[in-house]
């Protein structure tokens, strides 16, 4: 990552942006989105919003001009062939299963006639469960503590005037802590004397997921409870991998062979998790780390994805794809 940033800085100074863009390698490029819309009015985590509906429209139009958009089914066939990619392929993915993926993203995808894949945390479907990151953001936004320090943290997080950055830093500390997110939420609730519940959750229903499939989209698993998998016992890990797959295949007319790791950085999955995926019937898995997969058949359970950030324009996308690692 540091090398990529240095390369990008030098390339800009030397006027090489166009050169690197035109000479980006063949391979698998994956974009990852979460929420689509505006995070300004949400009672929950604003950091989960990837872009607005108009920005998504622009992004998909740009992608269609410069990449060959493929489905997960086509990607699995490419991986099984063990042939190196001969084009710049692109997979479009959405994580978690927020309802705005249905209301805001699906019409844009249909407009552009492209297939995208939606990775679903099944414990959030068909009920009113609020996930741990949204609970934490809600508590911070409601009670506005000037600082937060929990058991297992190395240092306190202090509010410095930017609420979004404050929430992001607190969530980062929660992810790094040895204790589960739910244990940390209970501690925050006690510290803030919170006992009144949470607003309604904002996730898709089984009916909406069925509609996604009927409209030509694809579904993958994102675990059941969206826990960090490396923190789990062997039995808990098996449950997260197998139960999410079983539920999706029970309620939806599809075979689920693709998985995306919750949180998705290197500390959240390991060889034990990969072995669990393979033994449970998954064929491919995606992380949340930027990079071009130039040999996807060599690492089908460690496929890299580019995260999309709000207000990214065409120049930002070009630089992101041009100055990056190759895997």
Q: Looking at the 3D structure of the chain, how many domains does it have? A: 2
Count the Cβ atoms, other than its own, within 10 Å of residue 326.
12
Q: Say whether both 216 and 90 belong to one domain.
A: yes
Q: Are 261 and 273 in contact (CB under 8 A)?
A: yes
| In-domain check, residue 1 | no
d(CA 240, CA 225): 7
pLDDT in tens, 101-155: 999 999 999 999 999 999 999 999 989 999 999 999 999 999 999 999 999 999 9
| In-domain check, residue 227 | yes
C-alpha separations of 26 from 15, 20, 87, 222 in Å:
23, 13, 5, 28
Q: Say whether both 188 and 138 belong to one domain.
A: yes
* Domain span including residue 156: 132-192
Q: Say whether both 188 and 209 belong to one domain.
A: no
Phi-psi category of residue 97: left, alpha or beta, with phi > 0 → left and psi -120 to 50 → alpha: left
| In-domain check, residue 291 | yes
| pLDDT for residue 8 | 65
Count the Cβ atoms, other than its own, within 10 Å of residue 302.
19
Q: Say whether both 76 and 222 belong to one domain.
A: yes
Q: Say whether both 103 and 73 belong to one domain.
A: yes
Q: Say whether both 316 and 231 belong to one domain.
A: yes
Q: Say whether both 161 and 33 belong to one domain.
A: no
Q: Say whether both 58 and 113 belong to one domain.
A: yes
Q: What residues of the chain score a pLDDT lower than 50?
A: none
Q: Which residue has the tokens 């391979």?
A: 27
Q: Say whether both 142 and 290 belong to one domain.
A: no
Q: Which of 40, 112, 124, 125 is nearest to 69 (CA)?
A: 112
| pLDDT for residue 16 | 83
pTM greater than the 0.85 cutoff? yes
| In-domain check, residue 101 | yes
Q: Are 323 and 4 in contact (CB under 8 A)?
A: yes
């Amino acid at each position: 990552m540091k090398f990529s940033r240095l390369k990008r800085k030098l390339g800009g100074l030397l006027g090489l942006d166009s050169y690197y863009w035109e000479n980006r390698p063949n391979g698998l490029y994956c974009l990852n989105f979460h929420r689509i819309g505006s995070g300004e009015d949400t009672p929950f985590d604003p950091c989960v919003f990837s872009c607005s509906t108009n920005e998504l429209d622009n992004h998909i139009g740009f992608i269609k001009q410069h990449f060959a958009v493929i489905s997960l089914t086509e990607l699995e066939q490419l991986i099984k062939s063990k042939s190196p990619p001969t084009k710049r392929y692109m997979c479009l993915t959405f994580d978690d299963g927020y309802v705005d993926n249905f209301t805001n993203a699906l019409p844009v995808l249909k407009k552009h006639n492209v297939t995208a894949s939606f990775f679903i945390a099944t414990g959030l479907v068909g009920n009113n469960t609020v996930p741990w990151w949204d609970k934490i953001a809600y508590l911070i936004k409601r009670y506005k503590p000037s600082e937060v320090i929990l058991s297992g943290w190395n240092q306190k997080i202090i509010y410095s005037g930017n609420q979004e950055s404050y929430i992001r830093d607190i969530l980062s500390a929660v992810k790094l802590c040895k204790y589960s997110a739910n244990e940390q939420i209970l501690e925050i609730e006690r510290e803030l004397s919170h006992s009144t519940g949470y607003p309604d959750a904002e996730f898709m229903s089984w009916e909406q997921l069925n509609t996604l499939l009927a409209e030509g989209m694809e579904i993958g698993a994102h675990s059941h409870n969206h826990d960090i998998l490396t923190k789990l016992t062997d039995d808990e890990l098996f449950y997260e991998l197998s139960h999410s797959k079983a539920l999706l295949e029970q309620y939806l007319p599809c075979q689920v062979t693709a998985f995306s790791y919750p949180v998705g950085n290197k500390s959240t999955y390991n060889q034990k998790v990969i072995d669990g995926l393979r033994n449970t019937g998954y064929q491919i898995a995606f992380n949340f780390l930027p990079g071009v997969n130039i040999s996807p058949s060599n690492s089908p359970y460690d496929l890299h994805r580019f995260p999309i950030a709000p207000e990214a324009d065409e120049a930002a996308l070009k630089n992101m794809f041009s100055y990056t690692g190759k895997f």
